[in-house]
Chains A and B, each alone.
Chain A
């Protein structure tokens, strides 16, 4: 199972929006409504930000939103804040034999 493809980096000024793509195949991203996104600050554990493509766990600001078109999922962070600077990973369910595949990760920088 190959990793999902994400851009290595993305950036924006405070208050702006940034969108991160996550490209897979019809066997993972495009085949199931189980795309999730995780935020990871340096030296910390990942934190769930989006699940089931576009749902937000309680406590996650509504500045974070998810979507999908075909085999590509996206995470949008609106109204960028300094604390949003982190690595972001997508993840997709991919069936019973090799259930989960992560994206390559995107480093978001707040300029």
Chain B
């Protein structure tokens, strides 16, 4: 059974930093492009970032570019998201997801990030 498990969420002050992780089991992610998608409380889904299978190519949504950095460790079967200069509007549940050809087949259960003073 494929499982993605996010961790690292929590409460952080505006301007602070947080690092999210996503661990995979039941499959080897090294061949898959991976994504972060977020959902603000009571709101819809928003794509955040994507990283290529070899980690060399990363793309970001305009709202997080320059503040967030996606990375991966294929040897450890993990995906990460370094979030800096956090703002109140970054408050959301963050999901990692696997790309199977420009769609998201597997999703984690999400980790909540709250940016508040």
The residues of A with any CB-CB pair to B shorter than 8 Å are 1, 3, 32, 34, 36, 38, 40, 44-48, 51-52, 57, 89, 91, 93, 96-105
- Please tell me if B44 contacts chain A, counting CB pairs below 8 Å: yes
By the criterion CB–CB under 8 Å, are A89 and B44 in contact? yes
The interface residues of chain B lying within 8 Å CB-to-CB of A104 are 44
Measured between beta carbons, the chain A residues less than 8 angstroms from B100 are: 51
Residue-wise, chain B 97-115 has the 8 Å CB interface mask toward A (1 for contact) of 0001111110111100000
User: 7 tightest A-B contacts by CB?
Assistant: A36-B103, A100-B47, A51-B103, A34-B102, A45-B107, A105-B44, A102-B45
For residue B95, CB closer than 8 A to chain A, the reply is: yes
User: In which size bucket is the chain B interface?
Assistant: 20 to 34
Tell me if B50 is interfacial: C-beta within 8 Å of chain A: yes
18 A-B interface contacts by CB (under 8 A): A1-B62, A3-B44, A32-B102, A34-B102, A45-B107, A48-B105, A51-B101, A51-B103, A52-B101, A89-B45, A91-B104, A98-B62, A99-B50, A99-B102, A100-B102, A101-B47, A102-B46, A103-B44
Given contacts A97-B59, A100-B47, A103-B44, contact A45 B110 (CB under 8 A): yes
Residues from chain A with a CB closer than 8 A to the CB of B88 are none
* Contact between B103 and A47, CB atoms less than 8 A apart: no
Contacts of A105 in B (CB 8 A): 44-45
Contact of A46 among B50, B59, B102, B107 (CB under 8 A): B107
Taking the closest CB of chain B, its distance from the CB of A10, in whole angstroms, is: 15
B27 at the A interface (CB under 8 A): no
Select A99's contact among B59, B101, B110, beta carbons within 8 Å. Answer: B59
Q: From B59, B102, B109, name the one whose CB has the most chain A CB atoms within 10 angstroms.
A: B102
Contact A102 B59 (CB under 8 A): no
A99 to B70 alpha-carbon distance, docked (Å): 15
Highest count of chain A CB atoms <10 Å: which of B44, B103, B104 = B103
Who on chain A is nearest to B50 by CB? A99
Is B61 an interface position by the 8 A CB rule?
A: yes
